[in-house]
Structure 1
């Protein structure tokens, strides 16, 4: 980490920002929370980061003990990046930050969002009170990527990969799912337009999507009077 600017502050918050406060660093962590990824997969999830910047952030995160680089066993044999056990402990921090920022009145709600980002937002938005005693296993297919979501006992479990014996499968793209979650687009209309395919009942899909209510935007402070 030679040449990096540091806060030189004994506060643990300042030290945490030394570790993950560089531009793109925490988003690299976000991309790895659901499992290992190849460099090319990370590039796809972070299209705004140049290859050089992404390589630099990965190197810094490895030096800090947050990320490790390894080769998957045969037959895959691919080289991947993954979070260490300590790095995985950033998950509640990332989710908490997303939950807090979801109330921002300036959140760019119509900006593009990646599949992993959208899946992690489900954890941030999940409302145990809405879930009650609901038990649902859902499969989500987003632009060719598969995820499984299980809701039971007022808790949510989410992972990459196909769901076994799901009650519901939603096959769509991240933009459509984001619009469904925000309530900007009715489920039946999106299905009729061919923008998503539901295996299972639409009622079950509506119940599932209702478990992730969007927070109301925080009020902006009154404009300062001039003159």
Structure 2
């Protein structure tokens, strides 16, 4: 098991933790849920992990059939890491853990990465609003492109271009997106400043901004004591 420790317990929970319970393992899965990544991109998105530890986690997850490597043909010569079907089956667990963890009283001082932001949007998606939010949207965040598709009852996000012309597009940098999600600036103010650009008809642009903000509503304040 490449040095991984085992609980030695036949329970499914323990056996699952034997695979993804090591430090950083589940965060690697999280950062691959939206699509393949190169090693350097994974390392850049996981603040605090050393290259050696990340290499070991990728090796462990590959041996257990959670992650697979894919080499792009020449002239690209790039090695990508992506989830297998077994790895993608962890998505409900990751989203639920994210919802659960976000309710803790305090948060570390670190910054949310783009994968965490988009997965938070997916975790907070309300299927009852799908009819209103229905559409295909494309996000350009720094040098990366993502597409979001809202169907009748679900939401899909992928690190890729939209397969068909999107109804609305959003172009910005990660710092601006963080500020919008933290309610430090409104989308309208970001547009006025030139740090955010929206394309598409007005109704589609409104649906897209509503979708992005829905999962980052300010936490309700406790009622005043009498």
Question: TM-score, normalised on structure 1?
Answer: 0.85
1:145 equivalent in structure 2: 144
Contact 2:121 2:215 in 1 (8 A): no
Q: How many Å separate the matches in 1 of 2:219 and 2:210?
A: 18
Instruction: For 1:56-205, list aligned pairs within 5 A.
Output: 56-108=56-108, 111-163=110-162, 164-201=164-201, 204-205=204-205
CA apart distance, 1:219: 9.3
1:31 equivalent in structure 2: 31
1:4 equivalent in structure 2: 4
Q: Give the count of matched residue pairs.
A: 219
Structure 1: runs of 5 or more not aligned: 221-227
Q: How many Å separate the matches in 1 of 2:206 and 2:177?
A: 12
Q: How many Å separate the matches in 2 of 1:25 and 1:100?
A: 18
Structure 2: runs of 5 or more not aligned: none
2:215 equivalent in structure 1: 213
Secondary structure class of the residue paired with 1:132: helix
Q: How many Å separate the matches in 1 of 2:51 and 2:200?
A: 41
Secondary structure class of the residue paired with 2:170: strand
CA apart distance, 1:52: 0.6
Question: TM-score, normalised on structure 2?
Answer: 0.85
Secondary structure class of the residue paired with 1:68: strand
Contact 2:176 2:195 in 1 (8 A): yes
CA apart distance, 1:115: 2.0
Contact 1:31 1:42 in 2 (8 A): yes
* CA root-mean-square deviation: 2.4
Secondary structure class of the residue paired with 1:210: helix
